[in-house]
Structure 1
Amino acid sequence: MKSGIIKLLIFLVVLFPFAYFGFSIYQDVFTIDPSSPKGEYSIEVESGQSIADLAIQLQKDDVVRNSSYFETLARINEAKPLQVGTYRLNLPAKPSDIITQLNDETSRIEAQIAAIAKTPTVNVTLKEGWTLDEMFDELVDNEVATREELEKFAQNPDNFSRESFEFLPQPLDCEYGNLSNCAKYYPEGYLYPDTYSFLYHQHQLIYLPRCWQTSIPKSGKKLMLPLVQIFITKSF
């Protein structure tokens, strides 16, 4: 009797680590992280990022418990290769559901890329010495966007804040007119004359601050920047 109890205890001692490990894997792979964000969660995927890179960021943001397990699960489920763009997830969700959402988002971005590839483009030459108004005239004449859209964007000081672009002075210094009027002409000294290809006749603008920001060297010198990196048509 005593021998049987000892054997049972030894069995339980040996079994416990395996049971604990199995339960831990079950939680990490098949259950929702209780500290997960709730609602819509967005994450930017950049060129060259892999599912492993994404998994690490998801763990940092408490979307998943264990990045290694999530990466393995994604590979087992043959997750689609990531595309550059913004991925939006509805949380909280189980890891398997997150992978399904990632695949859906990849399909959405692929469809957008395909649509852009089929969209006609128009070449617009922005000449040296032109004011912002003259650049707007050229964009409007070529039906890239409406003047109302361009001016509405340019008159919003938030689009040219130092939080987004460290090389800009802060606060916005306006000695004439009101703040929105000043903001309209604020980017003139940072725009580069050249010929650019725009998506044709789409009439809705999106702002790409990261494109502008990453083109600035650490020297801090005032540089002229391509207008195409500030105003770009939305094709979907």
Structure 2
Amino acid sequence: MATDKKDIIRQKMLESQKEARIVRKIVLTIFILLVLFIVIIGGGGYLYIKSALNPIDPNSKIQKKVDIPIGSSVTGIGETLESHGIIKNAKVFKYYVKLKNEGGFMAGVYELSPAMDIPEIVSRLKTGKVLAQAAVKMTIPEGKQLKEIAAIMAKETKQKEADVLKQLNDEAFVKGFMAKYPNMLTNEILNSQVKYPLEGYLYPATYSFYKKNPSVEEMVNVMLEKTQDVLSNYSEERTAKKLSNHQLLTMASLIEEEATVKADRKMISSVFYNRIKKGMPLQTDPTVLYAQGKHKQKVYYKDLEVNSPYNTYKHKGLPPGPIANAGKISIEAALEPEKSDYYYFLAAADGTIIFTKTLAEHNNEKAKHISNKK
């Protein structure tokens, strides 16, 4: 009986070992197949993407007219190019643009060929080498306020300035763009203390329009698209600094308005942040003038009494919103201030900015350079 039990146990052990070998073979087979699948898919994906970046037909002599409308998104541009047979895949185009951090594409009618690769097409769209000449070319300089931008838009399109400004501040008009750019145009712009909702959001650049009378909506859309493209390049830095887009553009506008040609914007930025950290009011003159709705060469003590949430002599922290548009340099300065222990600055007659640490030093420099400023 004992021998029989031993035989049975031995038999079961042999069967278990056999089953274990079979299981190991199955697992190994599945693993090998999985690795091969990943390699094939990965390799195939790489080859497909590489192929999609290359010209559809390197030997093609065909030239096609492709219209890129104002305000087109990267997705929309890719789909247009694919539908015209200029590129193989719109999604590959989109991811290439995002990966390379490309942007600033210009609207217009382009002459493109299937013989062009994606990098060449991107370059063409950025430089704006178009077939048709722009019917309206509008330049918005840095540091311009919404009222001034409205005047430029009105002049270039032969509209009434008052009508353009009214539309720019129309609630339904603004909310329409808030729905289109929800991550950029937030409820912060509808704060009751904000003077003009779109102030600071119309990016300074030269814009080309290919019909004689572009609408205010078309012009604003392309400017907001540009602003969004610019801001998207700094999303990580902005998040790290715990700033909303609205706060970033507000700080950048203060730097823009205070800066001169010779100004060190990052040092000006450091003064503003130092004052905020210490609980000091910013006391920047451009906010007083903005509150008054005036442009003046000098600010007097009586001006500092203006009753407005924009008056940074009376109210600490940032004003309710931007006081002008800001260019890339000022936006970067708002994100990357210089490290300093300065709390004051003033502009000398030659445009040089003088930075000081104490009020006594500031007043001493003011007496030397701007004796009758206030």
Shorter chain as normaliser: what TM range? 0.3 to 0.5
- More helix by percentage: 2
- Structure number with greater CO (CA < 8 Å, separation at least 6) is 1
Compute the TM-score of the two structures, normalised by the length of structure 2. 0.26
